[in-house]
Amino acid sequence: MAETDEGAVATADDALYVLTAMLLTPAQFPSVLGDDYPEACAALGLAPLADGYGLVLGQDGDGARWTVAIDDVSLVAVAIASWDCGMEYDLSPEEHTVVAALPGWPLAVAVAAPDVPAPHDPGPELTDRPPLAPPDTTSWGPAQRRLGADEIARQWVIWREQLSDKDFTLPGGGRSAAPEGEPDGAGADTDRAAGATDSAGDAETPPEDTPGRAEDAVSRPRAGIRRVLAEARAYVETPPPLGRVRSSFAPGDARTLRADGPGWSMVARTDDIAFVLLDEEPGEVLPVGRGPELPGLLEALDKMAVRPS
């Protein structure tokens, strides 16, 4: 999501002060809204069009929040790229491109239009549908899990550097060749600063007089990772809903892969490891070493993933 350089730009008919915009397409959508593109569209009450939408968030002259969905995706993409480069861009969608005007905002917006009342939801006399509101991210759940995966994808190098050689080394020496489903070491807490990691086992190990509980604490994330990677393999055989697997740019010849499913998110580099987040493991980021099978799985997922145009 990009914000306008000046905080607000008036559309051609001055009906809406544009504050920010985002894409809602199979390859790029606010993942906090759902595990895939159809689910994200459903959260807004929109049909999953093949080419997607541009979403324009702003306020009307009375300060009410509105989200305008347009079918001119290229217009919004150009505006976002311009704002990201620090350039001004007057995002003024043509009336014939408007698909829906939705009350409220699906995501939090940190800015407000000048010289109008503070942002608020439109009154019931203006719309017959409930206003959109950002998903609850105050406690761990699907929305928070997907936001955590977004953060790892954006700051891959920082997260990758948290893992030292010992996290990927077997007792006999050499680099770990742990199969998928076996976390190769640390379980990093998404609530901690980017420089710290803890062992998933260490974080949950009970006193020594309860070895059974300690074994359960270690086996839970391993079982979860095995389930995630089994479901990811199934995607290769039976394509999932559009947007469940996405491929984006990474340095060199690699690609950044993002895959989501019921209760899990995975972020990976095709030339490196993967990180898994689980609904049942609040705040934990579980790394998975390449092993003998992960490279082939990532290559297969990349071939069937949707990519930004």
Give pLDDT, residue 222. Answer: 83
Give pLDDT, residue 15. Answer: 77
Give pLDDT, residue 183. Answer: 47
Backbone phi and psi for residue 76, each to the nearest 5 degrees, phi listed first: -70, -40
Query: pLDDT at residue 13 above 80?
Result: no
Give the ranges where the chain is alpha helix by DSSP (H): 37-44, 73-84, 142-154, 156-161, 200-204, 211-237, 294-304
- Taking residue 152's Cβ as centre, other Cβ atoms within 10 Å add up to 23
pTM: 0.80
Say which residue, 55 or 187, is predicted with more confidence. Answer: 55
pLDDT digits (tens, 9 = 90+) for 81-126: 999 999 999 999 999 999 999 999 999 999 999 999 999 999 998 8
For range 227-256, the mean pLDDT: 96
- Percentage of residues in the chain with pLDDT exceeding 70? 77
Query: pLDDT at residue 178 above 90?
Result: no
Give pLDDT, residue 232. Answer: 97
pLDDT digits (tens, 9 = 90+) for 215-241: 444 456 788 999 999 999 999 999 999
Domain locations along the chain: 2-103, 142-304
